[in-house]
Structure 1
Amino acid sequence: MQSPHHDQIVGILLAAGKGTRFDPSGAQNKLLQTTTAGDKIVVAAATALLAALPNVTAVVRNADDTVAAELSALGCKVVVCPDADKGMGASLVYALTQNQHAAGWIIGLGDMPSVQTTTIAALADELKNGADIVAPFYKGRRGNPVGFGEKHLAELLRLGGDQGARALLKTYPVTAVEVDDPGIHYDIDTSADLLSPQMPQRSNIS
């Protein structure tokens, strides 16, 4: 029996990190902090994905925490990665195992609140048109999220630790999608990043 998403591009939101650079004590979850636009970081990131893609799976650390509740309320399929402490690669693999029969995947990061929906939609269109790997570029520099076609599923499932998908981006041709979206370079690593939304930071997956 085919998956209901077998012909769709599925969004994956990685939201299972500890965020220790933001608050080493662990008292403040960076994903629940408020952006200058007034949204919680993870809510803004998820909302953009949901506006562009019919199905979004969000990977979290705990089923009963506020991050999971917020994402579930938005309409994400929320899954708890048992190996979240092993890093981003482990979370990505876990999400992919829940969505193996999709036509492709766009991988977003829960700490990137400023990516535009139009950027995500443009990446999805390229995947639908046959691209194997897609990434957005703004002013000549690659950013996130990135997308993968089903051709690369087996290799994605072999990822592990904190490497994420960067190895594939270095190994295979990437279809560049030029966008007018500085948000593809802006993630929240420290509290200072919340105060400087116009100062893009290099994000983890790229």
Structure 2
Amino acid sequence: MQTAAVILAAGASSRFGSPKQLARVGGRTMLEIVAQVATDAGLAPVIVVVSPTLTVPADVVPVMNDAPSEGMSKSLRLGLAAVPAEADAAMVLLGDQPTVSRVTLTAILYAARGDRSVVAAMAHGRIGPPVLLLREAFGLATEVSGDEGLRGILAQHPELVTEVDVKEHALDVDTPEDLAAFIEPCPGCGATFLPLPNGSVHEYIGASAACWAAFGELLAREFQDPAYGWIHRHTVDVYTVQHPGTNDRRQRQSVALHLVGLCHWLEHNMDMRQLNPITQRLASENRNWPWLTPPTTYGMTVLDVLSACDADEHGRAVHAWAASVWESWSAHHELIRRWADEALH
């Protein structure tokens, strides 16, 4: 069954103070996050209903709502009207719910194999988005008005609805306080992400699960394409010293060696082939490296590098990131330079 996504994102954001759909979390806008979740769940095309002034993500089908003041019902009808004829169904999502999960979308798609024309998420006895409509149920959108969604009309037609139990509905973001309440700052670099409760973390590198996952995405880019991979060693140096963790012997050594690597790259223009033997030699020494009090703030993070569009931009971004992080460690430059000089002799 081909299912399109219809993301409603034409709201005025009056309580947010600026277009909330464009508020950034983890380096992406909320709208980009929702669109990506829809794509990852196999929904196609991804149709986004927006006001004429709103920028839409790449690879989506934009539908303009020139009268957003008429409420969500107008956006719903416009979005469903844009679903191509070959699609059998549409999944309706909200552009201000960045915590919506692919797991929920997949469960709803699976439940659509039944004999009812609507599938909706259910939590705490309450129906809510995402809602899947088979094409035969698109006409329900004509029965709603103003800022009313589908909840009311579905309550009147329970015989049409298959309910999918979810632990919690995705959170609506209506104010900056709503957004701040569920984003998670990384304890190392300070970048903010959507929490990743079941994500893995490194044993001693001090990164949140979500930040560690973002770093993994960056490394995958470098491993898969030689045009990106030449700078891999420097990427690891920067990320490691930006997430110093706790005062642990392994981490003290790790931070010291990667700081030496940064110094050699930025101040002596040494490449990976020159740096790797030095790092291996230093790591083999039975040396108790001191704890260096880390910086409290950084100018750039892994998210700035992930936004690069091509290999050249990626290389420039990693270099700028390295220079920014190196400057943040300026209180220890004299000691690090001494270590770097010792490593060459």
For normalisation by structure 2, the TM-score amounts to: 0.48
Alpha-carbon offset, residue 33 of structure 1? 1.1
Q: Does residue 47 in structure 1 map to residue 36 in structure 2?
A: yes
CA 1:100/1:83 → structure 2, altered by over 3 Å: closer, same or farther?
A: farther
Matched, 1:14 2:8: yes
* Aligned partners of 1:96 and 1:157 also within 8 Å: no
**8 Å CA contact retained: 1:13, 1:59:** yes
Equivalent residue in structure 2 for 1:33, among 23, 46, 53: 23
Matches within 5 A, 1:57-72: 57-62=47-52, 65-66=54-55, 68=56, 71=57
Q: Deviations over 1:40-87 (max 9, x none)?
A: 21111111111111221100101x643x2xx2x1x1111112232201
Letter in 1 for 2:2: Q
Over the matched positions of the two proteins, sequence identity in percent amounts to 30
Matched residue SS, 1:185: coil
Q: CA deviation at 1:108?
A: 0.3
Aligned to 2:78: 94
Structure 1 residue runs of 4 or more that deviate by more than 6 Å after TM superposition: none
- After superposition, residues 159-174 of structure 1 pair within 5 angstroms as 159-173=144-158, 174=161
2:89 equivalent in structure 1:
104
Q: For the aligned residues, what is the CA RMSD?
A: 2.1
Q: Provide structure 1 residue ranges, at least 5 long, that are not aligned to the other structure.
A: 1-6, 199-206
Partner of 1:144, secondary structure, is: strand
Unaligned runs of 5+ in 2: 184-345
Asked whether 1:190 is paired with 2:175, we answer yes
In 2, the alpha carbon distance for the partners of 1:57 and 1:51 equals 14
Partners of 1:148 and 1:134 in 2: CA distance? 7
8 Å CA contact 1:100–1:153 kept in 2: the answer is no
Give the Å deviation of 1:162: 1.2
**Pair 1:140–1:168, CA change in 2 (3 A):** closer
- Please state which structure has a larger fraction of its residues in helix: 2
- 8 A contact 1:48–1:117 mirrored in 2: yes
The verdict on how the C-alpha distance between 1:135 and 1:65 changes in structure 2, with shifts beyond 3 A counting, is closer
Shift of the alpha carbon at 1:9?
A: 1.4
Distance (whole Å) between structure 2 residues aligned to residue 139 and residue 83 of structure 1: 34
Which letter maps to 2:164? Answer: V
Q: Of residues 13, 38, 60 in structure 2, which corresponds to 1:76?
A: 60
Q: Contact 2:7/2:46 (CA < 8 Å) preserved in 1?
A: yes
| Correspondence for 2:165 among 162, 172, 178 | 178
- When residues 165 and 142 of structure 1 are mapped into structure 2, their CA distance, relative to the original with a 3 A threshold, is closer
Q: Which residue in the other structure is 1:155 paired with?
A: 140
Q: Could you tell me how far apart the structure 1 residues matched to 2:181 and 2:36 are?
A: 21
Taking structure 1 as reference, are residues 83 and 176 closer, same or farther at Cα in structure 2, changes over 3 Å only? same
Paired residue for 1:202? none
After TM superposition, give the deviation of residue 93 of structure 1 in Å: 0.3
Deviations 1:16-45 (A, max 9, x none): 11010111xxxx21111123x443211111
TM-score (norm 1): 0.78
Do 1:93 and 1:160's aligned partners in 2 also have CA atoms closer than 8 Å?
no
Q: Is the 8 A contact 2:108 2:132 kept in 1?
A: yes
2:128–2:151 contact (8 Å) kept in structure 1: no
**Residues 99, 157 of structure 1: alpha-carbon distance in 2 compared, 3 angstrom cutoff:** farther
One-letter amino acid matched to 2:13: G
Query: Given the alignment of the two structures, is residue 133 of structure 1 paired with residue 118 of structure 2, yes or no?
Result: yes
Q: State the one-letter code of the partner of 1:122.
A: A
Larger RCO (alpha carbons 8 Å, 6+ apart):
1
